Amino acid sequence: MRIKSSAAGCAGFCMAAALAAFSAGAQAEPLRARACGGVDYNAMILKIIRSLPTGGGYSLGADFVFPTVTAHNIGRGHWELRVYDGFPSHCTSAAYALYSRLVATLHNGGRIHLSPDQLKSLEVKRRMPDGTARVDGQGPYAIFNANGAGVAAFLKHTGTGFSFRDDKLSYARPGDFLKLFWNANVGASEQGHQVVFTGRREMAGRDMICFWGSQRQNRKRRDGHTEALYFPASKGGEVKDGYGEVCRPRSDVKAMIFSRVTCMEQLAAGLDAMAAKAAARGGKPDLFVDEYLYSIRTQSSDQATLDRMYDIQTAPAAVFADVGIAPLP
């Protein structure tokens, strides 16, 4: 799963509101939402997930298919963003296709307004203008696709959301993007999974964290015996390779970073800010390079550095009461 600087305008305001929420408590959440348009983006993300197919296969090999995200001129000066899933997929390609569908829903419906160049910058580009292969950290898709905290990085660069840690799962909401770490490492030695959080469940007396994403079923040794890597998210369900909602024992998770979309109204200005920082490379958002994400392709970093780089806060247990564990429906 591989493939700095905040945007101006609403970006700073939204982040300030986000930080205020952490210090003021749960009642600050509606204030932040109103500041950025009063839209429940978590609910929109979950609605999009419910419309997606299940399965399609999972791959990190040569048969992997990139999602297709394209800008279309539909006439009279109007452009649309169209998104087509690529199968077999992997975790970050699924996350990016989902985010792109959110953008398409908002832009095509007239709720946000992106220029043709901004729409084109969101396309999944595999090469840089000089013909070299595009790698982690180079442009929107390759930022999302990066090790470390790609989604957190993109939300920070565009000012469209904020990121936090919440080991007690007391502040996290279904519809938050979630980076799971299967080991404590960051970068070249990292093992992780990019998904969307859907809830917490109890299965056979075990605490499970549930999420939507693209994954491959396998086997894992736990407590002296071998069992499934992932578990169905509902009774009678099954785990399919590729897209789907699954659960995994909380004990498998070494670290988590939640990223919440709160201010898509800022996306155009955020992409402009990325383009301005990429001026030496041609002044386009897809030429913006996150140097930190680029660097950890070949070297290791740490969780504390991720927090500093992308303003990742910690939800204080004293403010947000633990919501407990929901039984499996």
The reply to whether 147 falls in a domain is: yes
Which residue range forms the structural domain that includes residue 174?
10-315
Query: How many whole angstroms separate alpha carbon 35 and alpha carbon 63?
Result: 44
pLDDT in tens, 136-190: 999 999 999 999 999 999 999 999 999 999 998 989 999 999 999 999 999 999 9
Residue 326 in domain: no
The share of the chain scoring above pLDDT 90, in percent, equals: 80
Number of domains in the chain: 1
Is residue 15 assigned to a domain? yes
**Comparing C-alpha atoms, which of 267, 312, 308, 307 is closest to residue 11?**
267
Report the alpha-carbon distance of residue 89 to residue 212 in Å, rounded: 13
Which range (34-48, 131-145, 247-261) has the least confidence? Answer: 34-48
Q: What angle do CA 181, 91, 253 make, to 5 degrees?
A: 20
3-state secondary structure (DSSP) of residue 303: helix
- Residue from 210, 216, 184, 217 nearest 195 by CA: 210
Is residue 323 one of the residues assigned to a domain?
A: no
- pLDDT, average across residues 33-50: 83
**What pLDDT, in 10s, does the model give residues 264-299?**
999 999 999 999 999 888 899 999 999 999 999 999
Examine residue 324 and state whether it is found in any structural domain, yes or no.
Answer: no
Q: Could you say which DSSP state residue 299 is in?
A: S
Report if residue 123 sits inside a domain. Answer: yes
Within a domain: residue 165? Answer: yes
Q: What is the pTM of this model?
A: 0.86
Percent of residues in the chain assigned helix, strand, coil, to nearest 5:
35, 25, 40
- The answer to whether residue 74 sits within a structural domain is yes
